[in-house]
């Protein structure tokens, strides 16, 4: 299996190369040249397998330059070593007949980013041995909150790597900030920026494609890679849990072999839902993919009209990991839907960078709407949904998952579609404790600090806070720096001790 670029079809690299470089030199994203297909027999055979075995099977279809032993080592280290608190890794919880929640936050940082970032360091280490011998890998991350912490946890003290994380100073939850500011490890750096997530992401993308910075690093024996979902090594592990969820539904006879299901995905950078789309293209029986956004509803409008217009007000919401107006991974979907038309993708992305807006052709829009539906939900409705869901089902959801629940409810009312549905739950409610508490007790944000709120939430709901979150209490703050977005590259060179 070889990989090409969404902006230049002449690119032809191995999986190891795609994973170590992160982004293609001309700014495009790596995509597989074709998607492997699974038949129904192979898909049903995932029932009765462990998550590690399911991951091995899917990964081996895409990482053809890895040995079986290497793939098994990566899958086992990530999902089979007690790093996830649930033995199923990504368990399904039934709310009612035909409605299931896929909990993707049983990993060490309590958000779904762990599903990919617990395995990425292993994939990257093997990839760099194959392609970049001797170079130290510098992982550069822009985060809306959850990726940063999950990447820091995944890469801390991994030999041959350094990791630098930039996050929007005002754009993350108190718990997310604390998680990053107290990060342990000898090879980690964290820096807040003045600006929003899009500024952080654009800054990182600029650094990646700046050849003079790259050259400065090379002279010091270092090279960049990315742990953002622009890296293929982030997306690939996410395909696994859609097959896994389907296999679990088969195991419990919630569906029959071949029966189609819907997936509802709370969406920001479009990585998670793109993995669901790839699973569908590989043969997983999917009826519809429902893209759920918060008040930053650029994707809702795009899917409904074909016009992508980022020139709109940016809202800091109670679901900060979805506060994004430039959804990077949409580029990969456009590439697929346009029939691998790299020139079209390149033109659209240039237009987005220059004008902040583009419109796709009618034919592409028709294809998009054949698989995707979309909706959005503001903070007020998010709160109501958290309260309602807890009252109705005794199920406590975080703000991001609540956006998915609300958008699904609207979708079902609008369409009457009663297909069995799986909603991706992307974070523990305790990760966004203040907002969740306020939803359950309107008007109150709880007494005292973040940890007092977590205690209140536990007492109120009888649910247990994931231990890694509680354990942050009392840890020393290691990182307090803030820099303007336009100084990110200089700050990075300073942190790495590289003199430009
Ligand atoms: C990152 C994140 C999302 C958005 O996922 P994308 O892959 O960027 O669409 C949703 N919810 C939570 C909690 C997240 O951390």
Q: Which atom of ligand 1 is nearest to the CA of 275?
A: 7
So what's the pLDDT on residue 459?
95
Q: Contact 240/112 with Cβ under 8 angstroms?
A: no
Give the model's pLDDT for residue 407: 98
Closest residue by Cα to atom 2, ligand 1, is: 321
What letter does residue 358 receive in the DSSP assignment? E
Lowest-pLDDT range of 312-321, 341-350, 435-444, 470-479: 435-444
CA 26 to centroid of ligand 1, rounded, Å: 26
pLDDT at 201 > cutoff 70: yes
117-131 pLDDT per residue, tens: 999 999 999 999 999
What's the CA-to-centroid distance between 463 and ligand 1, angstroms?
Answer: 23
CB 294 within 8 A of CB 377: yes
Residue 212 CA, ligand 1 centroid: distance in Å: 32
How far does the centroid of ligand 1 lie from the alpha carbon of residue 464, in Å? 22
pLDDT digits (tens, 9 = 90+) for 83-94: 999 999 999 999
* Closest ligand 1 atom number to CA of residue 267: 9
Q: Give the per-residue pLDDT at 473.
A: 92
Nearest CA to ligand 1 atom 1: 321
Residue nearest to atom 11 of ligand 1 (CA): 426
For this structure, is 113 an active site residue?
yes
Contact by Cβ (8 Å): 324, 296: yes
Domain ranges of the chain: 92-110+233-470
Q: Whose CA is nearest to atom 8 of ligand 1?
A: 269
Q: Is residue 371 very low, low, confident or very high in pLDDT (cuts 50, 70, 90)?
A: very high
40-81 pLDDT per residue, tens: 999 999 999 999 999 999 999 999 999 999 999 999 999 999
Check residue 13 and give its pLDDT: 98
For residue 111, how far is its CA from the centre of ligand 1 (angstroms)? 8
Residues lining ligand 1, judged by CB closer than 6 Å? 111-113, 146, 229, 266-272, 321-322, 400, 426-427
Please give the Cα distance from 309 to 351 (Å, whole number): 11
Mutational test site, ligand 1, from 322, 326, 406, max ligand atoms within 8 Å of CB: 322
**From 151, 168, 426, mutation site for ligand 1 pocket: most ligand atoms within 8 A of C-beta:** 426
Mutate to test the pocket of ligand 1, among 147, 321, 401 (most ligand atoms within 8 A of CB): 321
Mean pLDDT of 167-186: 92
Q: List phi, psi (to 5°) of 249.
A: -65, -40
Which phi and psi angles does 396 have, rounded to 5°? -95, 120
Atom of ligand 1 nearest to the CA of 401: 11
Q: Which pLDDT does position 390 carry in this prediction?
A: 98
Ligand 1 atom nearest residue 145's Cα: 15
**Packing angle between helix 120-131 and helix 232-251, nearest 10 degrees?**
140
d(CA 7, CA 22): 14
pLDDT digits (tens, 9 = 90+) for 214-243: 999 999 999 998 898 889 999 999 999 999
Q: How far is the CA of 143 from the centre of ligand 1 (A)?
A: 10
The closest-lying atom of ligand 1 relative to the alpha carbon of residue 238 is 7
Phi, psi of 131 (to 5 degrees): -125, -25
> What integer is the mean pLDDT of 366-390?
98
Among 162, 60, 110, CA closest to 466? 110
Ligand 1 centroid, distance to 257 Cα (angstroms): 30
State in Å: Cα 146 to ligand 1 middle: 8
| pLDDT tens by residue, 253-307 | 999 999 999 999 999 999 999 999 999 999 999 999 999 999 999 999 999 999 9
pLDDT above 90: residue 104: yes
pLDDT value, residue 446: 62
Cβ burial, residue 371 (10 Å; 0-12/13-18/19+): middle
pLDDT digits (tens, 9 = 90+) for 443-491: 766 667 889 999 999 999 999 999 999 999 989 999 999 999 999 999 9
Pocket test for ligand 1, best of 241, 296, 400 (most atoms within 8 A of CB): 400
pLDDT, tens digit, 9 for 90 and up, residues 8-38: 999 999 999 999 988 898 999 999 999 999 9
pLDDT of residue 445: 62
Q: Which of 113, 125, 346, 383 is catalytic?
A: 113
Q: Write down the mean pLDDT value for the chain.
A: 95
What tokens does 144 get? 């809306």
Q: 400 CA to middle of ligand 1, Å?
A: 8
Nearest CA to ligand 1 atom 14: 321
- In order, the DSSP letters of 180-229 are HHT---TTEEEEEEES-HHHHHHHHHHHHT-HHHHHHHHHTTEEEEE-ST
Position in ligand 1 atom list of the atom nearest CA 229 = 7
- The whole-number average pLDDT for the span 341-356 is 97
Instruction: Indicate the class that CATH gives domain 92-110+233-470.
Output: alpha beta
Q: In testing the pocket of ligand 1, which one of 171, 266, 323, 405 has its CB within 8 Å of the most ligand atoms?
A: 266
Question: How far apart are the CA of 313 and the centre of ligand 1, in A?
Answer: 20
What is the model's pLDDT at position 228?
85
Q: What is the pLDDT of residue 134?
A: 74
């Amino acid at each position: 299996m070889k990989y090409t670029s969404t902006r230049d079809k002449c690119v032809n690299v191995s999986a190891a190369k795609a994973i170590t470089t992160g982004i293609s030199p001309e700014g495009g994203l790596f995509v597989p040249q074709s998607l492997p297909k699974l038949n129904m027999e192979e898909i049903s055979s995932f029932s009765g397998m462990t998550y590690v075995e399911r991951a091995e099977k899917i990964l081996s279809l895409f990482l053809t330059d890895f040995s079986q032993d290497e793939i098994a080592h990566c899958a086992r280290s990530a999902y089979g070593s007690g790093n996830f608190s649930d033995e199923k890794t990504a368990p399904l919880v039934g709310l009612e007949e035909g409605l299931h929640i896929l909990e993707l936050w049983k990993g060490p940082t309590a958000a779904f980013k762990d599903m990919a970032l617990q395995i990425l360091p292993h994939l990257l280490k093997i990839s760099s041995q194959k392609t970049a011998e001797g170079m130290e890998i510098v992982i550069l991350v822009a985060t809306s909150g959850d990726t940063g912490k999950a990447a820091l946890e995944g890469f801390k003290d991994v030999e041959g790597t350094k990791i630098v994380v930039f996050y929007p100073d005002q754009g993350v939850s108190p718990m997310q900030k604390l998680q990053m500011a107290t990060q342990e490890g000898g090879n980690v750096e964290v820096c807040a920026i003045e600006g929003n997530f899009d500024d952080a992401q654009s800054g990182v993308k600029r650094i990646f494609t700046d050849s003079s910075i790259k050259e400065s690093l090379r002279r010091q024996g270092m090279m960049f890679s990315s742990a953002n979902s622009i890296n293929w090594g982030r997306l690939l592990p996410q395909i696994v849990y859609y097959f896994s969820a389907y296999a679990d539904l088969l195991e419990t006879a919630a569906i029959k072999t071949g029966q189609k299901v819907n997936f509802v995905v709370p969406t920001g950078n479009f990585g998670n839902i793109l993995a669901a789309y790839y699973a569908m293209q590989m043969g997983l029986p999917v009826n519809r993919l429902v893209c759920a956004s918060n008040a930053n509803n650029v994707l809702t409008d795009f899917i409904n009209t074909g016009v992508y217009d980022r020139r709109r007000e940016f809202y800091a919401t109670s679901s900060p990991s979805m506060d994004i107006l430039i959804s990077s991974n949409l580029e990969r979907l456009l590439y697929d839907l346009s029939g691998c038309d790299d020139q079209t993708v390149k033109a659209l992305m240039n237009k987005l960078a220059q004008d902040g807006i583009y419109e796709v052709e009618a034919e592409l829009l028709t294809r998009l709407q054949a698989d995707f539906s979309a909706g959005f939900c503001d903070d007020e409705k998010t709160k109501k949904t958290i309260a309602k869901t807890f009252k109705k089902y005794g199920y406590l959801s975080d703000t991001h998952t609540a956006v998915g629940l609300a958008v699904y409810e609207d979708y079902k009312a609008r369409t009457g579609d009663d297909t069995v549905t799986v909603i991706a739950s992307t974070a523990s409610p305790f990760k966004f404790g203040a907002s969740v508490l306020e939803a359950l007790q309107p008007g109150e944000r709880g007494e005292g600090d973040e940890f007092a709120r977590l205690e209140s939430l536990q007492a109120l709901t009888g649910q247990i806070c994931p231990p890694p979150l509680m354990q942050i209490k009392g840890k020393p703050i290691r990182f307090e720096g803030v820099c303007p977005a336009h100084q990110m590259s200089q700050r990075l060179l300073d942190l790495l001790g590289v003199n430009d």
